A and B are shown apart, each in its own frame.
Chain A
Amino acid sequence: MSANSIPSPPVHRVALLQLATLVPSCLLVWLALDETTALSALCGGAVAVVPQAWFAAKLFRARGARSASEIARSALSGEIGKFLLSAVGFAAVFVVLRPLEAAAVFAGYVAMLIVQTIGSWWFLMRRQQKQTETPKQEL
């Protein structure tokens, strides 16, 4: 199977799922608690979503066994970018956002990590399951 014929996994859906979870949750927090907590959680969530989307875009640029070394290289650069984007994101949030609720920033970040893990597992494993079932049906 050539690398071009391997379909790209739906990693963009994971980022969309994260955003679809983050924004309504922050609106609920705004209604239930206050604006500062909601904005802090939103910023913390955004710090998780944007670097992860960058990493996914870099990692799945190349596909297939023949591109294994290229995948490893793009994973390395994607990981460096993710680490730097996260550090800059946290620094920007802690410098710019006033008033700040630090616990809400980290809560938003951790919540998006949980959504990312569950969402990635759900989307990607379901797709793989479909791919393995399709040839059996054709037979």
Chain B
Amino acid sequence: MELVLIAAAIMISLGGLGAAIGIGMLGGKLIEGSARQPELAPKLQVTFFLGAGLVDAIPIIGVGLAMYLIFVVAPGMA
């Protein structure tokens, strides 16, 4: 049972790490692109919105699976 909680913790932490790196890179490129070509800023913001939705989809599914492990598979441990 403890292994289930450790697995959930690894899933949440690595998912959060991946999302943080991805969104950080996207945000950095957004600022860089807006500084280089200010007239493209609204387009870049929309592209950022689309990219961010895709980047954090997998980590959030990982968080969902972790919640499933914590609250359904090992409910007594939580």
CB neighbors of A among B28-54 (8 A): 28, 30-31, 34-35, 38-39, 41-43, 45-46, 48-50, 52-54
Q: Which residues of A contact B27 (CB under 8 A)?
A: 72, 75-76
Task: Tell me whether A30 is interfacial, beta carbon within 8 Å.
Answer: no
Q: Does B60 contact A86, Cβ atoms closer than 8 Å?
A: yes
Summarize B's interface: helix, strand, loop or mixed.
helix
Q: Does B52 contact A91, Cβ atoms closer than 8 Å?
A: no
Q: Does A65 contact B39, Cβ atoms closer than 8 Å?
A: yes
Q: Does A90 contact B63, Cβ atoms closer than 8 Å?
A: yes
Q: Does A72 contact B31, Cβ atoms closer than 8 Å?
A: yes
Q: How large is the interface on B (under 10, 10 to 19, 20 to 34, 35 or more residues)?
A: 35 or more
Q: Choose among B34, B48, B60 the residue that contacts A59 (Cβ–Cβ < 8 A).
A: B48
CB neighbors of B among A1-57 (8 A): 1, 6, 9, 11, 47, 51-52, 55-56
Q: Which residues of A contact B16 (CB under 8 A)?
A: 83
Q: Choose among A11, A68, A91, A125 the residue that contacts B71 (Cβ–Cβ < 8 A).
A: A91
Task: Tell me whether A137 is interfacial, beta carbon within 8 Å.
Answer: no
A11 to B42, CA, bound (A): 13
Q: Which residues of A contact B (CB under 8 A)?
A: 1, 6, 9, 11, 47, 51-52, 55-56, 59-60, 63-66, 68-69, 71-72, 75-76, 79, 82-83, 86-87, 90-91, 94-95, 100, 102, 105-106, 109-110, 113, 116-117, 120-121, 124-125, 128
